[in-house]
Amino acid sequence: MSSERLAPLIVLAGPSGAGKTTIVDRLLSTTKLPIRRAITATSREPRHDEVHGVHYYFWTRDEFEKKIVAGQMLEHAIVHGRDYYGTPTAEVQGPREAGIAVILIIDVQGAEQVRRACPNGLVTVFLMPPVFDDLAARLRKRGEPEETIRRRLESAVRESACIGEFQHRLVNAEVDTAARELERIIESQFPQPRSATCSSN
Ligand code: 5GP
């Protein structure tokens, strides 16, 4: 399939705790559009409820570095100053060629690499919490240690400075509303079907 015919690629970025995964899960459970979330990879430890191959591919640093050297990563970055995170190319290319839109939940460094690597059919969205102070509360609810929360809030300030580089901004005041808005943005990126033409004879 030529690159102009690829299904859309959606980059969703925004501070940790803004609700990116919640909104994407809501969208995926309600939409009729062909959309999937790419499973990305990380070298951080899984949280107690996280499953390899479902929430992330949990790789060691060594495994991660081998994939980078082998050219198998579409993008990768050190996020929150500590762990590798990245998108395996295989998570994106095949589905898009098959007409399925792919959502990447990644940080602003990854977003910049994807802008350069995949400009065709790309739509970038930045998600903000309604109030910045909410972030610390949302992170605490996840049971993160204070040191992790501090690092994530520092990243949030850095990430928010990049908001101008995104085509769309969404505020997560209400999950259903934000999920519907994201769906609308994605729908508008699908190639529109040509209107049927009638021919006499
Ligand atoms: P968490 O550790 O809370 O699961 O994720 C932390 C942050 O890592 C997320 O907010 C997201 O922005 C970023 N992230 C997750 N997967 C990827 C990825 O594949 N690439 C990049 N660059 N960032 C990612």
CATH of the domain at 26: 3.40.50.300
Best mutation site among 21, 106, 118 for ligand 1, i.e. most ligand atoms within 8 A of its Cβ?
106
pLDDT tens digit at each of 201 positions of the chain: 455 589 999 999 998 888 999 999 999 999 999 999 999 999 999 999 999 999 999 999 999 999 999 999 999 999 988 899 999 999 999 999 999 999 999 999 999 999 999 999 999 999 998 877 777 887 788 787 888 888 888 888 888 889 999 999 999 999 999 999 999 999 999 877 665 544 444
Query: In 3-state terms, what secondary structure has residue 26?
Result: helix
For ligand 1, mutation pick of 40, 51, 107, 140 (most atoms within 8 Å of CB): 107
The Å distance, Cα 191 to ligand 1 centre, comes to: 29
Domain count, the chain: 1
Domain for residue 201, yes or no? no
* Structural domain harbouring 126: 3-187
At 133 the pLDDT is 72
For residue 115, is it within any domain? yes
In this structure, is residue 130 part of a structural domain? Answer: yes
Q: Report whether 103 contacts 38 (CB < 8 A).
A: yes
Q: Is residue 196 part of a domain?
A: no
CA gap 43, 58 in Å, rounded: 6
From residue 96, give the alpha-carbon distance in Å to each of 2, 35, 52, 126, 184.
11, 9, 23, 21, 18
Type of residue at 29: S
Does residue 61 form part of some domain?
Answer: yes
| Dist. CA 101 → ligand 1 center (Å) | 19
pLDDT tens-digit profile of 91-101?
999 999 999 99
Q: Which two three-digit tokens encode residue 98?
A: 């098959």
62 found inside a domain: yes
176: left (phi over 0), alpha (psi -120 to 50) or beta: alpha
In a domain, 194, yes or no: no
* Inside any domain, residue 200: no
Q: How far is the CA of 4 from the centre of ligand 1 (A)?
A: 28
Q: Which atom of ligand 1 is nearest to the CA of 109?
A: 22
For ligand 1, the distance from its centroid to the CA atom of residue 183, given in whole angstroms, is 21
